[in-house]
Amino acid sequence: MPSLEPAEITAGRLHLRPWRPYDVDAVHEACQDPEIPRWTQVPTPYERRHAEDFVTRQAPAAWADGTGALFAVVDATTEGLLASVALLDITDQGDADLGYWCAAPARGQGVMSQAVTTVTRWGFGALGLARIGWRAQVGNTASLRVAEKCGFTLEGTLRQALVVGDGRRVDCWVGSRLPDDPPPPGNLHR
Ligand SMILES: CC(C)(COP(=O)(O)OP(=O)(O)OC[C@H]1O[C@@H](n2cnc3c(N)ncnc32)[C@H](O)[C@@H]1OP(=O)(O)O)[C@@H](O)C(=O)NCCC(=O)NCCS
């Protein structure tokens, strides 16, 4: 895979940019919220070394080898960390998977929907992706709502197909968005 040119995108009050070393403490703090390892592959207990490895090794390595575009979502004015959004497992054939979490204090304000809409549009436009996949543990209705608001279609359930942060294997919902899918009615971030 060719490497990806690190990108920065401003969308309203959000700024999406590659992770920087000084994000380690903010990532460590955000991932203390048990809701994040409960629903994602973030490890638990989440130690500072996990944040350091994510920010300084995993994220830059994925950009460099072209397999992932991992963005910090920060407040465009204050630079405070709000969320994480990523296109993962990017392939030469134009597939990618979406991953995200929102820091607890920033939830319920539309941050995640706007960040997902932005990175999805960038993935189809700048990277020329053909399909973006989404998976969430069955019962993660907040994540499902974000995905549906951003134009993803729920396709079904896979049994025991996801291993979450505490090592549990769980059933997951799967869905996707294709480049020409229409935005859902009422989506303000189309
Ligand atoms: C899922 C998550 C990212 C949603 O973040 P958020 O900031 O609440 O998202 P938004 O503010 O953009 O809200 C999007 C929609 O979800 C709805 N929503 C939020 N929490 C919800 C909940 N617990 N149940 C049902 N709907 C919920 C919101 O009401 C909103 O819908 P609306 O505009 O129709 O009112 C956040 O809860 C989170 O980080 N969870 C832990 C990590 C995680 O689950 N990541 C995804 C793994 S697949």
> What's the pTM value of the predicted model, to 2 decimals?
0.96
Domain count across the chain: 1
Query: How many angstroms is it from 2 CA to the middle of ligand 1?
Result: 33
Query: How many angstroms is it from 104 CA to the middle of ligand 1?
Result: 10
CATH number for position 13: 3.40.630.30
Task: Assess whether the C-beta atom of 100 lies below 6 angstroms from ligand 1.
Answer: yes
Distance CA 49, CA 95 (A): 30
Task: Assess whether the C-beta atom of 84 lies below 6 angstroms from ligand 1.
Answer: no
pLDDT at residue 25, as a whole number: 98
Give me the residue label for tokens 């991953």: 99
DSSP secondary-structure letter at 185? T
What φ, ψ does residue 97 adopt, rounded to 5°?
-115, 145
Query: How many angstroms is it from 146 CA to the middle of ligand 1?
Result: 6
Task: Assess whether the C-beta atom of 39 lies below 6 angstroms from ligand 1.
Answer: yes
Distance CA 185, CA 78 (A): 32
Domain encompassing residue 34: 9-177
Task: Work out which ligand 1 atom sits closest to the CA atom of 111.
Answer: 12
pLDDT at residue 190, as a whole number: 44
- 1 assigned to some structural domain: no
- 96 assigned to some structural domain: yes
Distance CA 100, CA 102 (A): 7
- 3 assigned to some structural domain: no
pLDDT tens track for 137-181: 999 999 999 999 999 999 999 999 999 888 889 999 999 999 999
CB 187 within 8 A of CB 180: no
Task: Assess whether the C-beta atom of 11 lies below 6 angstroms from ligand 1.
Answer: no
Task: Assess whether the C-beta atom of 24 lies below 6 angstroms from ligand 1.
Answer: no
| Beta partners for residue 95, in sequence order | 131
Parts of the chain with a pLDDT under 70: 186-190
CB 62 within 8 A of CB 88: yes
Interstrand relation of 131-137 and 95-102 (parallel, antiparallel or unpaired)? parallel
Neighbours of 91 (CB within 10 A): 14
- 183 assigned to some structural domain: no
Task: Work out which ligand 1 atom sits closest to the CA atom of 35.
Answer: 41
- 185 assigned to some structural domain: no
pLDDT at residue 187, as a whole number: 56
Q: Which two tokens stand for residue 103?
A: 């820091």
Q: Which amino acid is at 78?
A: T
